[in-house]
Amino acid sequence: MIKLLFTLTLGLIFSSFFTSCENEPVVFTEVELIPEDSNLFLLLEQVTSDESEIGSVICINFVYNFTLFVYDEANEFVNREVMHNDRDFYQFLIAIPEEYSIGISFPIQSVLEDGTEFLVENKEQLENAIKDCLFVGQQAIIGNSNTIISECVWEVNLFNDDDPTTYKNAVFDVKDDGTFFFYNDGTSYVGTWIFFFIENELHLNINLTGDDEVTLDWNIDWKVDFVSNETIQISNDDITYVLKKECEEDQYCTSPYFKECELDDMPSFAEFVFENYKDCIAIFNNIEDQGDVEISFHLLFIDAEENINLLPENGYVNIESPQIIYVRITNLDTSDFIIYEITIQAETCF
């Protein structure tokens, strides 16, 4: 039997579950689950225990901090747990009820240095892979990945002009507690991602919650082609994305929810410059060239329909907080239009 060098380094690096979207409903998708009473679960308990014998099973070197999602016997989400060290993880594993599970995205695949294909399609194969692997002491090199990745957001860019444009300018907002928000066209998704090595090949295993086309497109075990302090390039089959670090808030777009600081003498009121929001509105509506459309802002939906009573694009003061603004986007060639809602809110700034 071929012995595979399989040092699995897991770094789960994510955005906070309870930040700006803590009241948004979260729908959890069906994923491959690792039952608590399975042999794989027992193996994980063993390799994270202080009593584990080096060489008896594969060594799994975790990069902390990270978060795990827990599911009950009906595969319904129960809670999440943040792991800070091996002892936390070991105690977490042994405390999970027998009928409970944890999730991960499959397949995991790679071509090893000797040309052998490594493929894990489900939890049973992952168990066998761990059993068949010989620990030889490979040291994982991820460095200060948790700190680097949680410093700013990571914006999706295209690898070349032939790549799909669906997720251009989408954003991963990653924090150091082990979860992230993924923003695409103004819609947010909660998720987790895991960095690990198969031999010397780095992978990024992404798992978004939900059940739609976006989750199908991203819930993949991605190969990491290149990683630096500023760029992560990932690929799967013929799809390649470049995630670029972006630290200036006005240079990326997350949701159609715009906040400005309250006026000094008017609590709950702020001055909004709608002109500044046009780039994000265009991104959320997949508008490549703003010169092809006319964007106007209205207080009432009927005003937007009839294209009357346009609000000033500079220096508008809200009348309530939060407040819905109706945006009319008119195609200049066809005169067709859509009406898009944004929300503005005045906030206290210190």
- 145 in the same domain as 34: yes
- With beta carbons less than 8 A apart as the criterion, state whether 52 and 60 touch: no
- How far is residue 284's CA from residue 185's CA, in Å, rounded to a whole number? 4
**pLDDT, tens only, 11-23:** 332 333 333 333 4
**Does residue 47 belong to any structural domain of this protein?**
yes
pLDDT score for 291: 93
Residue 265: pLDDT over 80: yes
**pLDDT, tens only, 214-227:** 999 999 999 988 87
- 69 in the same domain as 170: yes
- 106 in the same domain as 88: yes
Q: Which of 106-110, 227-231, 311-315 has the highest mean pLDDT?
A: 311-315
pLDDT score for 33: 57
**Does residue 322 belong to any structural domain of this protein?**
yes
What average pLDDT does range 330-348 have in this prediction?
96
**Does residue 146 belong to any structural domain of this protein?**
yes
**Does residue 1 belong to any structural domain of this protein?**
no
- How far is residue 146's CA from residue 85's CA, in Å, rounded to a whole number? 14
- 120 in the same domain as 77: yes
Residue 50: pLDDT over 60: no
What average pLDDT does range 99-121 have in this prediction?
73
What average pLDDT does range 107-125 have in this prediction?
70
- 329 in the same domain as 289: yes
Q: Of 249, 271, 304, which one is at a domain's C-terminal end?
A: 249
pLDDT score for 41: 57
pLDDT score for 38: 59
- 304 in the same domain as 162: no
- 168 in the same domain as 76: yes
Q: Of 191, 222, 249, which one is at a domain's C-terminal end?
A: 249
**Does residue 3 belong to any structural domain of this protein?**
no
| Lookup: tokens for 170 | 């989408």
- How far is residue 86's CA from residue 93's CA, in Å, rounded to a whole number? 11
Tell me the pairing of strands 108-111 and 180-184: unpaired
Q: What domain count does the chain have? A: 2
**Does residue 26 belong to any structural domain of this protein?**
yes
- 97 in the same domain as 18: yes
**Does residue 289 belong to any structural domain of this protein?**
yes
- 143 in the same domain as 116: yes
* CATH number of the CATH domain containing 323: 2.60.40
- 178 in the same domain as 265: no
**Does residue 2 belong to any structural domain of this protein?**
no
Q: Of 228, 249, 270, which one is at a domain's C-terminal end?
A: 249
- 236 in the same domain as 337: no
Residue 292 lies in domain = 256-347
Q: Pick 135 or 96 by higher pLDDT.
A: 96
**pLDDT, tens only, 126-154:** 555 554 443 333 333 344 455 567 778 99
Count the Cβ atoms, other than its own, within 10 Å of residue 300: 13
pLDDT score for 124: 55
pLDDT score for 53: 43
What average pLDDT does range 232-258 have in this prediction?
90
Residue 205: C-alpha distances to residues 38, 103, 104, 269, 306 (Å): 22, 11, 8, 43, 48
Q: Which of 77-91, 94-108, 251-265 has the highest mean pLDDT?
A: 251-265
What average pLDDT does range 262-278 have in this prediction?
94
- 223 in the same domain as 261: no
Residue 61: pLDDT over 50: no
pLDDT score for 114: 75
**pLDDT, tens only, 277-316:** 999 999 999 898 999 999 999 999 999 999 999 999 999 9
- How far is residue 13's CA from residue 104's CA, in Å, rounded to a whole number? 14
Give the 3-state secondary structure of the chain: CCCECCCEEEEECECCCCCCCCCCCCCCCCCEEEECCCHHHHHHHHHCCCCCCECCECCEEEECCEEEEEECCCCCEEEEEEECCHHHHHHHHHHCCCCCEEEECCCEEEECCCCCEEEECCHHHHHHHHHHECCCCCCCCCCCHHHHHHCCEEEEEECCCCCCCCCCCCEEEEEECCCEEEEECCEEEEEEEEEEEECCEEEEEEEECCCCHHHHHHCCEEEEEEECCCEEEEEECCEEEEEEEECCHHHCCCCCEEEEEEECCEEEEEEECHHHHHHHHHHHCCCCCHHHEEEEEECCHHHHHHCCCECCCCCEECCCCCEEEEEEEEECCCCCEEEEEEEEEEECCC
